[in-house]
Every structure is written in structure tokens, then in C-alpha cells.
Chain A
Amino acid sequence: MFSFFEKIGDHGLYYLEQAGRMGLFLLACVWRMVTPPYKLFPAVRQIHFIGARSIFVILFTGGFTGMVLALQGYYTLRKFGSEGLLGAAVALSLIRELGPVLAALMVVGRAGSAITAEIGIMRNSEQIDALECMAIDPCRYLMVPKFIAGIVSLPLLTAVFDMVGILGGYLVGVMMLGVNGGTYFQGMYSSVDWNDIEMGLVKSLVFGLLIVWIATAKGYFLHWERSGGFGAEGVSRTTTSAVVLASVTVLVWDYLLSAIML
């Protein structure tokens, strides 16, 4: 009985400590991001990795999301005789909600896992210690370019996702189900306003930061992992838990941001 409470307390303390470490890590990285020296090339490389190389998966998922939205939306809206609102429905769902969230989840799966594994392996093989001993700041050298890339890439990927989704909706709604093309875009034009765009933009910026934060911090603190961050298995376990944590965090923050901004 006693040991039960002890265990809970022990877990609680561990997670509190972990949260504190990750919080300080975020502050350190953001501080280094906004103070000179600024280096352009490493950030561009990371944007290529996190952003450009995610394009294909974003095009694909964005297209199909728009298509299924149009399909489902059409059958729902037809019950009320308002198929004309299909364009607005598709666009608003994508811009306010599905675009930022799904693009973020795709980036978690594609880039987030890779970042955790990369940093985790560097931690495991003492490459991070080596950087420190060379008086090279690992946060500045390794993390800052990834943070910049996350914050730059996510909004752009989200924009692509939204656009392709709207085209996918057009494909299904207009070309397959026979909704009037002009009505599709007119409904969109009259119902989407700046607030909606802003919400999508803010969400994608925040998600970009959160994803890179969790992915890098998990790798960086691999050696503090409770389940043992040792060897190949430690890296794989930590990568999995980073993906889960980042996905959950994205969804929780999606709710919070919606609640705040509505």
C-alpha cells in the first residue's frame, strides 16, 4: 500500500522533472534563435528536410482529405438542400481545422521521428558531449536550425495542404457529384474571412514550434529517459514516445487554440 503511493510520487516527480527540463530547453533554444549570430545555411538545409521533403505526403493527404470532405459534406448538405454551401464547408474545415492539424501530424510522422532519432543517436554516441567539449553550443548548432525550419515550414505546408484539399473537394464535388463550379468557389469566397486564415496560421506556427520542441528535447534528454535510453532500442523507444507525445500535444493545443480564438 505504502509502496503504491511511493511509486505514484516517484512517477509524478519524474514527469515534473522531465517537464521542467524540457521547458528550460525550449527557453534556451528560443533565446538562441533570436540572438545573433544568425546562420542562414543550416536553417535552409533543415527547411529542405522538414519542409520541402514533406511536400509529397502533404499533397497526397491534402488531396484525399479534401475529396472525402466533399463526399461526406455533399451527402449531409443535400439533406438540407444546400449543396451550394459545399465549397464553404470544405474550405472552412480545411483552413480552420484539418489543414493545420493533419499537416502537423504528417510532419510529426515524417520529420519529428527523424529528428528525435538523429539527436538521440548523437546523444548516445557522445557526439553531443563532443560538441560541448569543442565549445560549440549544441542548442545553437543543432537545434536552432530545426526550430527555424519548423516555424517556417509548417505554415507553408499547411497552406499547400489547404489548397490541394480545396482542389480535391472541387474534383469530387463539382466534377463527380455535379455541384456547380461557380457556386463552389462563390460560397468559399463569401464565407472565408481573415479570421479563419489567421486561426489556421497561428495554429500551424504553434504546431511547428511544438513538434520541433518535443522531437529535439526527447532526443537531447535521451539519457534521462525513464525506460532507459540506451542503445538502438533506447533510441527506437524514445522515438516512438516522442511521436506519440507530439501527436497528442498537437491535438490538445488544437483544442486550446480553437477555444481561445473562437
Chain B
Amino acid sequence: MTVKQEKQFSSARIAIELVDVKKSFGNQQVLSGVNLQVEEGTTTVIVGASGQGKSVILKHMLGLMKPDAGQIKVFGQDVASASRRQLKEIRKDFGVLFQNVALFDSMTIYDNVALPLRERTEAGEEEIRANVEEKLNMMDLHGVHEKFPAQISGGMQKRVGLARALVLDPKIVFFDEPTTGLDVLKSNEIYRLFHDTQARLRYTAVIVSHDVPKIFKLSDRVALLAEGVIQSSISPEEFQRSDNPLIRHFVETTMGPIYSSEKEETAPL
């Protein structure tokens, strides 16, 4: 847990700040005034029942959706009102692992990871190869370079997605349900890789996850999205002790009986 302790010193700056973000689709109000602060270098986990709008929050942070009202600031700059050019600059600090991975399915694994380097940097093929090899090795991906995404397993796809997200050393990495659909071993593997890479690359992480309570071990802040509002952004320990009724309800339904049956599981760290 050395990583966490070091973080305490360097967490002065706010990486992402949401102020009163509102969003409706037709007459369905999904976000009704979301407030959230993410400190630089920390890991924030957004939890909540499915369909609450967790992916919608991420898409707002990424500038893929515009809020009906409110501000989304990334390192102080408002994403919602940014021009295309500004948005492009802001996104240069981003790495994203989508819920469905969104690998380019007509490109090989190697080309998928190399794409950001080819399109965004002036690096030559030699340099690109070295960088891609390094990231793929970091993800324990060997001998899949020339395969296509459809030819590898779901767990491997997630790791390729992570390699692609990290290939340009982003400052903020977004994970939308990185382990959903994976078995316990594979999701532990993803968590281990996440932990290793964050220790090495020191990025700020925003994770949407269902994997309670396992995910708590990796997080500095837990934010519960319920009823269109972020109910908390507090440490996992505080979260589990909170007397906010919505949090209590969430903790009881997700962790109560299941937690005891999962006790024997070894921690990912």
C-alpha cells in the first residue's frame, strides 16, 4: 500500500470536477445535478445499480456527451463548452477502456495499440514497435500481435484495450466496467495489471465498476450514483460505515450475504 501513502502528498490538484451536471434523454432525467471532484493521482470508483447513468457520467467527462446544464472541468478547463480543437488538446491526456472495449476490429492487435502512436506522434516505426512491445509485454500479451480482436478471448481483449489506453502515457485513465463479463481469475488479473501500471505510470483513474467490494481495495474514493446524484465521494472505509440510507442500502444489497461467501477469495494485491 505504499502507492496510496505517497499519493496523499501529491494530491493537491483537482484533475476532474463536475459541477451540477444535468442530463436528460427525452423526458427521462438521468443526471440531476451531479457534483464530483477527482484529485490528481488518485483512484475514484463510481458505483451504482445498472442503468443509473454511470456510463453517461464517463461520456460527459470524455466530452462525448454534452450536459443540459452544469460544468465538467478537466484540469480547470470546461469540457462542455470547449471547442473541437480545445477538446482535442484535453483528450491528449486521456486513456479510455470502454465497457465493450471498442477495439478496432478490422485491425490486428499490434496495429490497434500502435494506432495512437502513428496518428498522434511523429515516432518512426522502430520507436513505435519498441513502445508497443513494451506495453503488450506489460499486459502479459505474447504472440497475439498479428491476431484480430475477434480471435482472442474477452480477457485478452480487455488487456489489449488497456495497453491501447496506456500507450501514450495518459494523465487520466477511464475504465468503464473493466471486469464485467470476466471470471474471477481474469478480473483479478485485470486488477493486478491496473495496480501495477498505476504504480508505474502514476495516472489518475476513474473506474466504473460493479465489483464491490473487491474494487474497494484499489480505490481512494468511492462515489455512489443513485437517483441521478452522486451520493458521496469518500474513502472505502467511510463508505462502508456511512449512515446515508442510499449508501447503506447499496452496501447491504451488494456486500451483505455475498461478501461472506467470497471471503476465501485471495485479494488481487
Closest 10 CB pairs of A and B: A126-B102, A135-B91, A130-B102, A133-B96, A136-B119, A135-B88, A135-B92, A134-B116, A127-B102, A133-B62
Is A125 an interface residue when CB atoms closer than 8 A count as contact? yes
A129 proximity list for chain B (CB < 8 A):
59, 62, 64, 98, 102
- Chain B interface residue bracket vs A: 20 to 34
| CB-CB nearest in chain B for A133 | B96
Q: Is the CB of B104 within 8 A of A133?
A: no
Q: Is the CB of A125 within 8 A of B115?
A: no
Is B263 an interface residue when CB atoms closer than 8 A count as contact? no
Q: Is the CB of B96 within 8 A of A130?
A: yes
Chain B residues in the interface with A (C-beta under 8 A): 59, 62-64, 88-89, 91-92, 94, 96, 98, 100, 102-106, 115-116, 119-120, 168
Q: Is the CB of A136 within 8 A of B115?
A: yes
Q: Is the CB of A126 within 8 A of B100?
A: yes
Is A141 an interface residue when CB atoms closer than 8 A count as contact? yes
Using A125-B105, A127-B105, A129-B64 as known contacts, say yes or no to A136 and B116 having CB atoms under 8 A apart. yes
Q: Is the CB of B91 within 8 A of A132?
A: yes
A130 to B168, CA, bound (A): 14
Partner among B64, B91, B105, B119 whose Cβ is within 8 Å of the Cβ of A141: B119
Q: Is the CB of B88 within 8 A of A133?
A: no
Q: Is the CB of B94 within 8 A of A133?
A: yes
Most buried by B among A118, A122, A132, A133: A133
Is A198 an interface residue when CB atoms closer than 8 A count as contact? no
A164 to B48, CA, bound (A): 65
A134 to B102, CA, bound (A): 12
A9 to B119, CA, bound (A): 44
Most buried by A among B89, B102, B103, B168: B102
Q: Is the CB of A126 within 8 A of B116?
A: no
Partner among B64, B89, B105 whose Cβ is within 8 Å of the Cβ of A132: B64
Closest CB in chain B relative to A242 CB, distance in Å: 19
Partner among B89, B91, B98, B119 whose Cβ is within 8 Å of the Cβ of A126: B98
